[in-house]
């Protein structure tokens, strides 16, 4: 192996160790997943062909300047944290001109404040919730920078001590080369509890991209920050006739949902132009017009499901599917539906079998997410394979090992293995009613 190949292979190993948790052996000396397997994880994250080989496209991504936070959730430190207050202090130390840094840091934080209940106050004391620092190489946190380009900055999840802090590589040409405002806005997303996105249109995409500095946040970014902290105040004209579902009606005995899906650590309930978000194991429910969370969504959601292995949400409206995985729309025919299918009534992803079930009228399909194709012998009759389900399915979600089928104002807890309904409740009982 020549010198150039050795340098490339060293970069390859270092990248997978840093961002995908690659280890040849674990602390007990047992062999871990192969380098090729980890490379496939990386290729999957960036939407590349999952060859397990270091091709030119994969190497180009590895050589792109990026954020220093890992991409795989299992290796993100102190996962799932959030600030327990809405007013946060910040301070920074930098050798850059104060006039340059002041406005850029404040503007990057203000961008998040505009779409969430959070507010940020600059501190001039030695302590603050979010400490912003510029350093080079080893700078005191066990995650050294690597000189110009490469890793530009990194941040830590909310918490005590180093939690919430943001570090920038002082060896970069800030503003003259890399846009400090853009990178700071991304890193503050991490400091507030957000993870990396697979959607290239998202500000939380891990690699650096030159982009317009106005309207930086995608619908996904706005939705995710509000999943954590609740919706930001919305203008009163949103609550007019366009959104007929009033807040007080959530406990109406006849309430049904158009679609239900898990999304990360939360459950989303869609009805017309309205949305409720319930956090797992918590009683608080955030709610408001869908537009507050997803500004680009202007129609009701017929079906929705979440792919945890891709950190991707799929929202289906009529024949259109909006995917946060790639940030672009596609027609439901791309799943393999025949032309006569013009609407999906419900969808649920069974992560244990990597299948997604699609329900429409009296039929259902089984879609293989790995092969990206419908399974043979489908569609099948719902009544044949789901004994006890004798009403149209309006929404579905797979959770805690059971398939939950929403039939109008009722929800049936269905045991797939036993092919049996094991419980029936009101649909809005999931909202605490």
Locate the domains of the chain by residue range: 3-63, 87-225, 249-431
Q: CA of 348: how far to CAs of 44, 328, 354, 359, 363, in Å?
A: 22, 21, 11, 9, 14
Return the sign of the alpha-carbon dihedral for residues 22, 25, 30, 33: positive
Residue 74 pLDDT grade (very low, low, confident, very high; cuts 50, 70, 90): very low
Q: Which two tokens stand for residue 207?
A: 């690699």
* Residue with more model confidence, 34 or 1: 34
Q: Is the pLDDT of residue 237 over 50?
A: no
Nearest to 305 by CA among 275, 348, 337: 348
Q: Which two tokens stand for residue 91?
A: 């301070």
Residue 224: Cβ within 10 Å count: 26
Percent of the chain, pLDDT > 90?
Answer: 49
Residue 50: Cβ within 10 Å count: 13
Mean of per-residue pLDDT scores for the chain: 84
Tell me if 297 sits within 8 A of 219, measured CB to CB.
yes
**Helix (H, G, I), strand (E, B), or coil: what is residue 119?**
strand
Q: Is the pLDDT of residue 80 over 80?
A: no
Q: Region 161-169: what's the mean pLDDT?
A: 94
Query: For the chain, what is the total number of helices (H) and then of strands (E)?
Result: 8, 23
At the topology level, CATH places domain 3-63 in Muramoyl-pentapeptide Carboxypeptidase; domain 1 (1.10.101)
Q: 242-246, 299-303, 398-402, 419-423: which range is least confident on average?
A: 242-246
Annotated binding site for Ca(2+): 95, 129, 146-147, 163, 165, 169, 172, 258, 302, 304, 347
Q: Region 87-98: what's the mean pLDDT?
A: 86
Radius of gyration for the chain, computed over Cα atoms and rounded to the nearest angstrom:
23
Q: How high is the pLDDT of residue 2? A: 55
CA dist 145 and 136 (Å) reads 6
Q: What angle do CA 275, 280, 283 make, to 5 degrees?
A: 75
Tell me if 374 sits within 8 A of 336, measured CB to CB.
yes
Q: Region 289-306: what's the mean pLDDT?
A: 82
Which residues 6+ apart lie within 8 Å of 181 measured at CB?
104, 107, 108, 213
Please state at what angle helix 3-20 crosses helix 35-45, rounded to 10 degrees: 70
Pairing of strands 285-289, 274-279: antiparallel
Sheet with 87-93: list strands edge to edge: 66-67, 151-155, 166-169, 130-135, 87-93, 119-122
User: Which among 24, 138, 170, 187 is annotated as catalytic?
Assistant: 187
Q: How high is the pLDDT of residue 131? A: 94
CA dist 185 and 217 (Å) reads 9
Q: Is the pLDDT of residue 79 over 50?
A: no
What is the secondary structure of 388-419 as a DSSP string? T--S---EEEEETTEEEEEETTEEEEEETTTT
Annotated binding site: 67, 95, 129, 139, 141, 146-147, 154, 163, 165, 167, 169, 172, 186, 190, 196, 204, 258, 302, 304, 347
CA dist 178 and 9 (Å) reads 27
DSSP category for residue 333: G
pLDDT tens by residue, 171-230: 999 987 799 999 999 999 999 999 998 888 899 999 999 888 777 888 788 888 877 887
Cα dihedral value 99, 102, 104, 105, nearest 10: 160
Residue 379 pLDDT grade (very low, low, confident, very high; cuts 50, 70, 90): very high
Q: Region 338-345: what's the mean pLDDT?
A: 93
Q: How high is the pLDDT of residue 349? A: 95
Question: The domain 249-431: what is its CATH number?
Answer: 2.110.10.10
CA dist 306 and 313 (Å) reads 5
Percent of the chain, pLDDT > 70?
Answer: 86
Q: Do 3-63 and 87-225 fold alike per CATH?
A: no
Is residue 187 flagged as an active site residue?
A: yes
Q: Region 161-168: what's the mean pLDDT?
A: 94
Beta strands in 334-386 (DSSP E): 346-350, 355-360, 363-368, 373-374, 380-381
Q: Region 323-346: what's the mean pLDDT?
A: 82
Q: Is the pLDDT of residue 150 over 70?
A: yes
Q: How high is the pLDDT of residue 280? A: 62
Beta strands in 140-208 (DSSP E): 151-155, 166-169
Residue 286: Cβ within 10 Å count: 18
Q: Region 295-318: what's the mean pLDDT?
A: 83
Q: Is the pLDDT of residue 117 over 80?
A: yes
Question: The domain 87-225: what is its CATH number?
Answer: 3.40.390.10
Residue with tokens 């024949």: 319
Annotated binding site for Zn(2+): 67, 139, 141, 154, 167, 186, 190, 196, 204
Residue 30 pLDDT grade (very low, low, confident, very high; cuts 50, 70, 90): very low
Q: Region 132-149: what's the mean pLDDT?
A: 90
Q: How high is the pLDDT of residue 234? A: 42
* Residue with more model confidence, 163 or 223: 163
Q: 261-265, 281-285, 291-295: which range is least confident on average?
A: 281-285
Residue 242 pLDDT grade (very low, low, confident, very high; cuts 50, 70, 90): very low
Return the sign of the alpha-carbon dihedral for residues 312, 313, 317, 322: negative
Tell me if 83 sits within 8 A of 124, measured CB to CB.
no
**Helix (H, G, I), strand (E, B), or coil: what is residue 92?**
strand
Tell me if 164 sits within 8 A of 156, measured CB to CB.
yes
Residue 127: Cβ within 10 Å count: 8
Q: Region 356-378: what's the mean pLDDT?
A: 93
Q: What angle do CA 85, 87, 89 make, to 5 degrees?
A: 115
């Amino acid at each position: 192996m020549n010198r150039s190949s050795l340098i490339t292979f060293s970069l390859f190993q270092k990248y997978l160790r840093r961002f995908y948790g690659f280890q040849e052996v674990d602390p007990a000396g047992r062999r871990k997943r192969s380098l090729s397997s980890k490379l496939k994880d990386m290729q999957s994250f960036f939407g590349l062909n999952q060859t397990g080989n270091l091709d030119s496209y994969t190497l180009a991504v590895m050589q792109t300047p990026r954020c220093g936070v890992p991409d795989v959730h299992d290796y993100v430190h102190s996962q799932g944290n959030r600030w327990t207050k809405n007013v946060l202090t910040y301070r920074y130390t930098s050798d850059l001109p104060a006039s340059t840094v002041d406005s850029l840091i404040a503007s990057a934080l203000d961008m998040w404040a505009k779409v969430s209940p959070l507010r940020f106050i600059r501190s001039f004391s030695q302590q603050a919730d979010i400490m912003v620092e510029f350093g080079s190489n080893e700078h005191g946190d066990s995650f050294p920078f690597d000189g110009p380009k490469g890793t530009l900055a990194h941040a830590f999840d909310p918490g005590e001590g180093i939690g919430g802090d943001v570090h920038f590589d002082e060896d970069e040409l800030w503003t003259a080369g890399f846009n400090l405002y853009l990178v700071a806005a991304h890193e503050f997303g991490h400091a507030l509890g957000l993870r990396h996105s697979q959607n290239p249109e998202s500000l939380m995409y891990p690699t650096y991209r030159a982009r317009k500095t106005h309207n930086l946040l995608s619908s996904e970014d706005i939705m995710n920050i509000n999943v954590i902290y609740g919706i930001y105040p919305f203008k009163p004209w949103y609550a007019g006739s366009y959104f007929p579902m009033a807040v007080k009606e959530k406990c109406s005995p006849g309430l049904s949902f158009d679609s239900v899906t898990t999304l990360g650590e939360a459950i989303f309930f869609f009805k017309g132009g309205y949305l409720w978000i319930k956090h797992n194991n918590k009683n608080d429910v955030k709610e408001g017009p869908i537009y507050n969370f997803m500004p680009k969504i202007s129609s009701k959601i017929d079906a929705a499901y979440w792919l945890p292995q891709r950190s991707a949400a799929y929202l289906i409206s009529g024949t259109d599917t909006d995917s946060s995985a790639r940030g672009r729309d596609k027609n439901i025919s791309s799943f393999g539906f025949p032309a006569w299918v013009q609407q999906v009534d419900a969808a649920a992803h069974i992560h244990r079998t990597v299948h997604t079930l699609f329900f429409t009228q009296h039929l259902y399909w089984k879609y293989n997410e790995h092969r990206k194709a419908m399974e043979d012998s489908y569609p099948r009759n719902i009544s044949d394979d789901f004994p006890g389900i004798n009403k149209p399915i309006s929404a579905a979600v797979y959770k805690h090992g059971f398939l939950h089928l929403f039939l109008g104002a009722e929800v049936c807890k269905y045991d797939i293995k036993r092919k049996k309904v094991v419980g029936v409740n009101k649909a809005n009982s999931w909202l605490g009613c």
